Amino acid sequence: MSETITRRLPAWALRTNGAVVLIFLYAPIILLVVFSFSASRIPGQWGGFTSEWYATLFDDSRLQRTISVSVKVALVSTLLATVLGTMSALALERFKFRGRKVFDALLYLPIIIPDVTMAVMMLMFFSQAFDLLDSVFGIGLSKGFATIVVSHVAFNIAFVSVVVRARIAGMDATLEQAASDLYATRWQAFRFVTLPLIAPGVLGGALLAITLSLDDVVVTQFVAGPGSTTLPVYVFSLIRKGVTPTINAVSVIMLVASLILVAGSVGLQRANASRGRQQLRTPGGTS
Amino acid sequence: MKSMKFRLAGVAVTGAILLASCGGDSSSDDAAADEPAAEESTSEATGADCAVDQVDGDLYLYNWSEYIDPDLKTAFEEQYGVAVIEDNYDSNEAMQPIVAAGNSGYDVIVPSDYMVSIMIEEGSLQALQLDAIPNMANLDPVFYPAPYDPTGAYTAAYQWGTTGLGVDLTVLGEDTPRTWGLVFDPELSANFGGNITLLNDPRETIGAALKYLGYSLNTTSIEELDEAKALVADAVARIAAFDSDQYDELLVSGQTQIAHGFSGNMLYGIDEAENPDDYTYFVPDEGGTIWTDNMALPFDAPHPCTAHTFINFILDAENGAALTNWNLYGSPNAASEPFIDAEVLENEIVYPADRSKLEFITNTGDFETNFSDAFSEAKG
Amino acid sequence: MSVGIAEAKRERSERRRGFLLALPSFAYMVLFFAVPLIIVLVYSFATRTSTGSTALSDWNLDAYRKLGEPIVRNVVVRSVILALVTTVICLVVAYPFAWFCAHQRPTIRNLLLIAVMIPFWTNFLVRNYAWRILLSNGGPISSFTEAIGLGETNILFTKTAVVIGLVYAYLPFMILPLYASIDRLDRRLIEAGRDLYGSGSQTFRRIVLPLTMPGVIAGSILVFVPSMGAYVTPELLGGGKETLLGSYIVTQFLTARNWPVGASLSFVLMAVMLVSTIVYFRSGGKNL
């Protein structure tokens, strides 16, 4: 990286800020891990060590079902939203076409709309659309996995698109143009030049999408069918009687699982990096 | 069948949008009025005769969380050879639109009193086939028929409880006055400034203020409501939080000293405390809320016979007792009494001796929005 | 002439390409977002019945009139201030962090980015509860400040707690787009700027900041907007003692069961936000 800037923004200040941010982000997580081993049901009271909550977790088939629904919904909706969101980001930043402004505005609405409004509107939409399909075509549909995914994609396209656009905006298009002259097909130009260039934005968008999907309560609650609830909805419904430390245990397991996943993907990246693909990154990015 | 009409009207609206037709302004009303056939067919489909103990599929239960002894669910599954699939909600208001929209997929729901009357009026519940529920006779006459379901045609009471104050006796003393003044009297409550939680619920919290003033919970007088609003607004400065969920835990972990909440939850929290004797719960002398939760069938319950069988199962004397022993809420089931643990039955928190000043919250109709507005305004 | 025709042809095919690229998501958004939204729009002109359902008749503007009441104005002003404070804090903290991330080796860079997200793959409610414990009377933070001689800090159920909670909840929303735009900075430009302006702060103001503006804008929107509508965090950490926009809307839809007012409020809110977003974007793109 450029040394001139490093001299101006002292490295130690950046490093301290980085450390503070990470401590801030992980303080509640550490607490959560600790209390997942506390025998007391009262939050914040240490009741001695126990692994009881992990045991109940493995016995609780309902909890396991909600976790599996959550993970499936998150993966499927993130995949769809990332593809659609990236496509729309490219279209909006790189092309002029009819209806562009309308599309642009439409893509902001899911970010702006209050949760509960979206929840109510999706509920009404599905129930009325299903009634319509039933009365006109005799197709009987019901809410469940698909309606949750459809709703999550509906708000996540917008979020992915915003992050990817932040990456593309102002990015020099000459490289891509050169590439499209160089490579035989548009697809190749996209695959070997554009995609690597926007990859950090796409990754960021995907991370945001998966997080939003894993965290959504209100919309999911209204569009889920019987027996198809996600983990956050289940947890939210528990708050009246008190969220048991089992939920802390669930969080810890999710944490460990994602850490394993990350470790795996870092390994994968190393392998890729050694194949030399990193050269296609922005100039100076690897120094 | 009002909600049915709305739904059909909605279908018309969606249809209009989907087909991008420029229908006239009255098209949706016409559609609603012209659809009696669809209405009848629905009520026929769900109105099939059910026999006692008949099942017609798995049971999809939409209930408050942790509100049924898991052993009861297992017993039902084993006895009738069906699975019980349970989802939970955390408020009547979150459950109601989901059920009213139709296609919810649930067979049995457990709405509270005022919500029952709303859902009956909107046509969201289907009438029970009383022949299929012989155990209905077990219900205490106080709860059957109940004021919110005066003909007893739609619901069977599930549990009942009160709303009052949980207090830390080590701070307030054993002989603490049992009054809403602990919250609303500026002098009395000043001692506990910053250590009080109130329910984050317009009807309950404004209702408590109304009771303190000697009015009805269900007043439709704007003057009385304004007085109550002023009391709540004044109390905001002295309270720690509006909290409908963790008040019991905040109380027994020493974060607060007075907690406005529901009897069973409070008792549950107190049981978890290191020294349960340090805490108690009471309904203040001025009176408070009594409430029930009730089993009912959504208008489009897919497995109505299993639902009836389940209601009958819960209303069984021993099963009803098991429910109360597990939930620590009062049982509306008179026949259950011999089977309820003595310590629960004799517990004043579960079964207060004097119930004369308890009042149900009822739907005040068009006045209802005044309660939520007053609550928002009291907070500022 | 023939050159002009070729040019026009090329442009047409470019337009078609752009349209085709946008089409799948455009169609998706129309079917699964715009159409449902129209249903809500219809509701905003309807009437609440005495049971709290919505009568699709007697179309009127009552729900919009209600938005003129002082309570709505108070709620909006308070929420805007809260959202602004949250956004500014997030920006100030996230910018150097994103900068730091963008200047690591690729492996570490991605690791850091994911490290930012991992806490958010736990449960939202559980994280708020954890903050409740951290901030409580006699909790870890209070014990810490007491131990270092600053005395007890009782932050729980204050506005500070709400801000901490919101910054926590939305910090990643700021970091991600900032990172995405800082990472694509061409370092040669910065060096050129150094030569031109001499001082680092000048280079930052005139070159780095304008070039990363898309990230700043995207991040600010992603933080500001949800902070405006947040209601669980303010209630859990702030004690719900002030009515904020998010909880006011929830109250309208659920507690008061007044869908016309909930819908009208949502629409006005969305319209205002959309317009100000567009204005913000335009000004951000050109002036800064």
In this prediction, residues B363-380 reach a mean pLDDT of: 94
pLDDT grade for B110, boundaries at 50, 70 and 90: very high
* pTM, rounded to two decimals: 0.88
Return the number of other C-beta atoms located less than 10 Å from residue C139's C-beta.
21
Residue C153 or residue B217, greater confidence:
B217
Q: Which amino acid is at C15?
A: R
**Does residue A3 surpass a pLDDT of 70?**
no
ipTM score here?
Answer: 0.88
Q: pLDDT band for position B48 (50/70/90)?
A: low
Q: Which chains touch A (3 or more CB pairs under 8 A)?
A: B, C
Higher pLDDT, B195 or B5: B195
Q: What is the mean pLDDT of residues B175-203?
A: 94
What is the nearest CA distance from B280 to chain C, expressed in angstroms? 22
- The CA-CA-CA angle for residues B65, B71, B74, to 5°, reads 100
3-class SS at B150? coil
Q: Give the pLDDT confidence score for residue B40 in this predicted structure.
A: 39
Summarize the confidence of residues C72-98 as an average pLDDT.
95
Task: Classify burial at B310, counting beta carbons within 10 Å of its beta carbon; exposed 0-12, middle 13-18, buried 19 or more.
Answer: buried
Amino acid at C203: T
Interface test with C, best of B372, B375, B377 (most C CBs within 10 A): B372
Tokens representing residue B65 in the block: 């969380």
Beta bridge partners of B156: B295
Write out the two tokens for B337. 């009494």
Question: What's the one-letter identity of residue C231?
Answer: Y
What pLDDT score does A269 carry?
62
pLDDT at A275 over 70: no
Pairing of strands B156-168, B279-282: antiparallel
Res. B232 pLDDT band, cuts 50 70 90 = very high
pLDDT for residue C34 is more than 50: yes
C126 touches chain B (CB under 8 A): no
A184 band by pLDDT with thresholds 50, 70 and 90: low
By C-alpha distance, the chain C residue nearest B114 is: C51
**C187: its two tokens:** 């370092």
Burial class (CB in 10 A: 0-12, 13-18, 19+), B285: middle
Predicted confidence at residue A43, as pLDDT, reads 77
Lowest mean pLDDT among A144-148, A270-274, B5-9, B326-330: B5-9
**C71–B28: do the CB atoms touch at under 8 Å?**
no
Distance of alpha carbon C113 from alpha carbon A203, whole angstroms? 10
Domains of chain A (ranges plus CATH)? 11-50 (no CATH), 64-248 (1.10.3720.10), 256-287 (no CATH)
**Residues of chain A neighbouring C25 (CB-CB closer than 8 A):** 84-85, 87-88, 107, 157, 161
- Chain A contacts in chain B segment 272-301 (CB below 8 A): 272-273
Given a cut of 50, whether residue C119 has pLDDT beyond it is yes
Q: How many Cα atoms within 13 Å fall on the side-chain side of residue A36?
A: 23
C-beta of residue C178 within 8 angstroms of C-beta of residue C98: yes
Spatial distance between the Cα atoms of C268 and C276, rounded to a whole number of angstroms: 12
A28 interfacial to chain C (CB closer than 8 Å): yes
Which of B22, B376, B377 would best serve as a mutation to test chain C binding (most C beta carbons within 10 A)? Answer: B376
Candidates C110, C114, C123; nearest CB to A251: C123
CB contact under 8 A, A124 and C262: no
User: In the structure encoding, which two tokens stand for residue A42, read together?
Assistant: 């009262």
For residue C287, pLDDT over 70 is answered with no
Question: Is the C-alpha dihedral spanning B135, B139, B144, B149 positive or negative?
Answer: negative
Residue B12 or residue B370, greater confidence: B370
d(CA C164, CA C141): 13
Percentage of the residues of chain B whose pLDDT score is greater than 70:
87
Q: How many CB atoms lie within 10 A of CB C78?
A: 16
Mean pLDDT of B220-240: 96
Q: What is the mean pLDDT of residues B369-379?
A: 95
| DSSP per-residue string spanning A93-108 | HH---TTHHHHHHHHH
Q: How far apart are CA C268 and CA C286, in angstroms?
A: 27
- Give the residue with greater pLDDT, C180 vs B368: B368
Query: C265: closest CA among C252, C284, C282, C283?
Result: C252
Phi-psi region of A79 (alpha: psi -120 to 50; beta: other; left: phi over 0): alpha
Mean predicted confidence (pLDDT) in A143-172: 91
Give the chain A residue whose CA is nearest to the CA of B7: A128
How confident is the model over C203-228, as a mean pLDDT?
88
The most confident of A37-46, B46-55, B113-122, by mean pLDDT: B113-122
Look at residue B24 in the predicted model and tell me its pLDDT.
35
Chain C CB within 8 Å of residue B65 CB:
no
Q: State whether CATH 3.40.190.10 applies to domain B53-158+292-345.
A: yes
Inter-chain residue contact A127 with B249, CB threshold 8 Å: no
What is the pLDDT, as a whole number, of residue A70? 93
Give me the phi and psi of B141, to 5 degrees please: -55, -25
Which superfamily is assigned to B161-290+356-379 in CATH? Answer: Periplasmic binding protein-like II (3.40.190.10)
Minimum Cα–Cα distance from A210: chain C residue: C121
- Residues in A closer than 8 angstroms to C199, CB to CB, are 8
Whether B70 and B86 have beta carbons less than 8 Å apart is answered as: no
CATH 3.40.190.10 location in chain B: 53-158+292-345, 161-290+356-379
Is 90 exceeded by the pLDDT of residue B224?
yes
Tens of pLDDT, residue by residue over A194-230, are 888 888 889 889 988 998 999 899 999 999 999 888 9
Q: Chains meeting B at 3+ CB pairs closer than 8 A? A: A, C
**The two three-digit tokens of residue C272, written as one number:** 């205002």
Average pLDDT, chain A: 84
Distance of alpha carbon B114 from alpha carbon B40, whole angstroms: 27
| Average pLDDT score over residue span C222-231 | 91
Q: Is the pLDDT of residue A279 over 80?
A: no
Interface probe with B: pick from A120, A131, A134, A135, most Cβ of B within 10 Å: A131
Residue C60, token pair as written in the block: 């009127």
Report helix, strand or coil for B52.
coil
In this prediction, residues B6-35 reach a mean pLDDT of: 41
Q: Which ranges of chain C would DSSP assign to H, the alpha helix?
A: 2-29, 35-44, 62-66, 70-102, 106-117, 124-135, 140-147, 159-182, 187-197, 200-203, 209-229, 232-238, 245-250, 259-286
* Interatomic CA distance for residues C266 and B306, integer angstroms: 41
B34 touches chain C (CB under 8 A): no
Query: What's the rounded Cα separation, in Å, for the pair B315 and B143?
Result: 13
